[in-house]
Chains A and B, each alone.
Chain A
Amino acid sequence: MHILRILQTVDRRVLYVLLMLSVTLPFFLTVRLPMRVSPATQALYDRIENLAPDDFVLLAIDWSAGTRGENGPQTEALITHLMRKKCRFAMLAFEPQSPTLCQAIAERLGKEYGSIEGVNWINWGYRVDAKNFLKGFVQDIPAVIKTTNRQEDVTNLNKFPIMKGIKTASDIKLLINIAPSNIYQTYVQFVAGAKKVPMAVAPTSVMVPEVFNYLDSGQIIGMMPGLPGAGEYESLLGTNTKVTRFANSASFAHILIILFIVLGNVAMLLERRQNARAGGAA
């Protein structure tokens, strides 16, 4: 078969194997592709960097195991930064799996940075009906939250000193929503917009184009765009965990996809030209 025809009819499974190789091989390479930090990620980093110790941050965690590849590294990077800065933070979810997944991350990083559950961070757990819940939440946080993910009373300040001084949304210095869905809009409507709480979003890559509208209008102050954003954030933190390796794999896979798109299209154009010439000659 002619090379131009072969390039246009490559079996999809050959492409899958090449893609798998482009993703897995960089795990064993020491080469690291350069990373440029985007202004949106930098803005989020700067905002956390400028928080005072003990400032209260709300992490709105709304992701499940299905998007762990992107939202997991984002959560790890943000919790790492908050624990380093000694900020207090609470996790709240409208997604059932999220409290369990994020609890594991916070416990693991807490051991590393000496951050204690109940003192430096708290997991409020899973709630339903985001809109109506948030309407009450912004006015009286302890009364609406009531319990942690383990059904313990959050108003018990001996057990949860982190809740000291936390009454309304105005006590939240920064709200960060980590999600693969448009739940960030609900937070914009009922918390950031209604109570002027500074907000940032860590969406999956699919969501990034639409979140730019909110960034551009100033409704949110920063963004960590998907896995590349997590990689950028890690480079700012100076940590070198698996996210940097992930970003490397993503770059190699992108190069492969772009290469095949170009090759396939060039082959199609050249074949068309050949056919036109052959038609003209006949």
Chain B
Amino acid sequence: MSEYIVRHTDVFMLWVGALCTLGLYSMLYKENRIYRLFEHLFLGLSTGYLVAQQWVDVLQPKWWKPMWEEGRWHFIFIVIFGSFYYFIFSRKGSWIARIVIGFFLGVASGQAFQLFANDTWPQIPSSFKPLIPHPAHTVMVDGKETLIKELTNSGALNNGIFMITVFCVMMYFFFSFEQKGLFVKGSAKLGRWLMMFTFGAIFGATIMARLALLIDRMDFLLNEFGPKAFGSAQMMFAILLAMMGLVLYLALVKDKKTPEEGEA
């Protein structure tokens, strides 16, 4: 039996992949036990994979082997220090947990400075943009010739929109005085609208990302699984169409006759 599985691993994997995909997409009809089964299967698999990989790729080669085989006995202190965390469950010994938590808080705070310097800070000067169109030219900076790129009319317009957006959004988040008066209130309101546009763009991008995942699974079913399991992508497409027809029948005919609980 095991030899048979080894010889047909590829086909076996494709079937498992297809059944898992269809099982999870059965949620689109409605919450059901098949979906729950595959959901738990995925959760268990990914957790098990993670635990095994942490040991195989991280703990065994980077900690266990050096400590046990290469004589770096001091690596044992990592476990002792790390296990201090568990004192958080003890009323008397909770102060011990604070030592290790404090250590990591200190490390994280130090890294936050570097985060600001390399991540956020460069974005502040880059938000000061030229607004008047100009041709490419050179200027002397600290005794060196520096090229200033051309700014076209459309580029200047882009920069103008950027500056207005930065100003209005900052005005919206300015809470040091009451926002009243046409200029302050108007720009804050415009800032809110501009943020709404941004959230809309992010939401649109999210839909695009989710669609990409759906397309990948459909490609798997039609072009990877279909030809191996049923001989052609067209055959798999016909099976998918039949499934879609069944979903439509269940949704439009059967569910209408038996309204769900809670519906009057």
On whether the beta carbons of A218 and B215 are closer than 8 Å, the reply is no
Smallest CB gap from A66: residue in B: B213
A54-62, A76-84, A110-118, A205-213 - the one binding chain B: A205-213
A67 within 8 A of B: yes
* Chain A 101-122: CB-based contact to B (< 8 A → 1; otherwise 0): 0000000000000000000000
CA–CA, A246 to B115, complex, Å? 37
On whether the beta carbons of B122 and A250 are closer than 8 Å, the reply is no
Contact of A151 among B61, B119, B214, B247 (CB under 8 A): B61
List residues of chain B with CB within 8 A of the CB of A245. 219
Contact of B218 among A23, A97, A185, A219 (CB under 8 A): A23
CA–CA, A36 to B207, complex, Å? 20
Beyond A126-B58, A147-B61, whether A193 also contacts B119 by CB under 8 A is yes
* Chain A 138-176: CB-based contact to B (< 8 A → 1; otherwise 0): 000000000101010000000000000000000000000
On whether the beta carbons of A125 and B57 are closer than 8 Å, the reply is yes
B177 within 8 A of A: no
CA–CA, A21 to B120, complex, Å? 44
List residues of chain A with CB within 8 A of the CB of B49. 96-97
Quote the shortest CB–CB distance from A204 to chain B (angstroms): 5
Contact of A194 among B107, B114, B208, B234 (CB under 8 A): B114
On whether the beta carbons of A217 and B126 are closer than 8 Å, the reply is yes
A70 within 8 A of B: yes
Smallest CB gap from B205: residue in A: A205
Residues of B184-236 at the interface with A, using a CB-CB cut-off of 8 Å, are 198, 201-202, 205-209, 211-219, 222-223, 233-234
A226 within 8 A of B: yes
Beyond A97-B49, A213-B123, whether A13 also contacts B215 by CB under 8 A is no
CA–CA, A206 to B54, complex, Å? 28
B83 within 8 A of A: no
Beyond A70-B209, A209-B198, A226-B209, whether A131 also contacts B111 by CB under 8 A is yes
Quote the shortest CB–CB distance from B227 to chain A (angstroms): 12
On whether the beta carbons of B222 and A24 are closer than 8 Å, the reply is yes
CA–CA, A205 to B214, complex, Å? 14
B161 within 8 A of A: no
List residues of chain B with CB within 8 A of the CB of A194. 114, 118
B53 within 8 A of A: yes
List residues of chain B with CB within 8 A of the CB of A204. 209, 212
Number of residues of chain A lying within 8 A (CB) of chain B: 61
Quote the shortest CB–CB distance from B65 to chain A (angstroms): 9
On whether the beta carbons of A28 and B223 are closer than 8 Å, the reply is no
On whether the beta carbons of B57 and A126 are closer than 8 Å, the reply is yes
Contact of B209 among A27, A205, A242 (CB under 8 A): A205
Residues of B71-99 at the interface with A, using a CB-CB cut-off of 8 Å, are none
Beyond A70-B209, A151-B61, whether A185 also contacts B119 by CB under 8 A is yes
On whether the beta carbons of A24 and B29 are closer than 8 Å, the reply is no
On whether the beta carbons of A250 and B215 are closer than 8 Å, the reply is yes
Quote the shortest CB–CB distance from B78 to chain A (angstroms): 12
Smallest CB gap from A70: residue in B: B212
On whether the beta carbons of B234 and A28 are closer than 8 Å, the reply is yes
Residues of B119-138 at the interface with A, using a CB-CB cut-off of 8 Å, are 119, 122-123, 126-127
B105 within 8 A of A: no
Contact of A24 among B53, B126, B218, B247 (CB under 8 A): B218
Quote the shortest CB–CB distance from A21 to chain B (angstroms): 7
- Apart from A217-B126, A226-B212, A245-B219: 11 A-B pairs, beta carbons within 8 A: A14-B248, A20-B240, A24-B218, A27-B219, A69-B212, A128-B54, A190-B118, A193-B118, A227-B209, A246-B219, A253-B214
A-side residues, CB < 8 A to B, are: 11, 13-14, 16-17, 19-21, 23-24, 27-28, 66-70, 72, 96-97, 125-128, 131-132, 147, 149, 151, 180, 185, 188-190, 192-194, 204-210, 213-214, 216-219, 226-228, 242, 245-246, 249-250, 253-254, 257
